[in-house]
Amino acid sequence: MRIAVTSQNYRTVTGHAGRARRFIVFEADGQEPPREVERLDLDTDMAIHGFDHRAAHPLDSMNVLITGGAGAGFVQHLAARGVLVVATEEIDPGMAVEAFIAGRVKSPGAGCNHDHGDLGDDHAHGSEQGHTCNCHG
């Protein structure tokens, strides 16, 4: 199983997956602990937000994408590509993958673990696109 984790800094799980361009890719076979196999650093035009969804994308080869938060459109676009999107509060990418494999993914609760100040008007609270961090602002 190939699992991508949004990580703009390659150290922590980051949110706003639709705008993410950096991912840590893990492989998990269920027998051994998941291992990092690749780091994706995509061009700006490859972020899912604004991407031509008729074209092939590097995330197409993933089974799962773990993120700190994602909009409904992102979740739908990846589902159409056969990729399950999972939101987590876990900060460490490796621990997030291990938690997913073990069925212990910590879904975001009522609190929000990230700043929405830089999202722009089309991603503000109350927009019709929404996002999966479940925050109440």
Please indicate, yes or no, if residue 100 is contained in any of the structural domains.
yes
Residue 28's CATH number: 3.30.420.130
pLDDT in tens, 95-109: 999 999 998 875 554
pLDDT score recorded for residue 30: 80
52 inside domain = yes
In a domain, 130, yes or no: no
Residue 72 lies in a domain: yes
Instruction: Give the single-character DSSP code of 82.
Output: T
Total domains in the chain come to 1
- 25 is in which domain, residue-wise? 2-123
Cα 95 to its chain centre, rounded Å, is 14
Write out residues in the chain with pLDDT < 50, as ranges. Answer: 109-137
Helix (H, G, I), strand (E, B) or coil at 47: coil
pTM of this prediction?
0.77
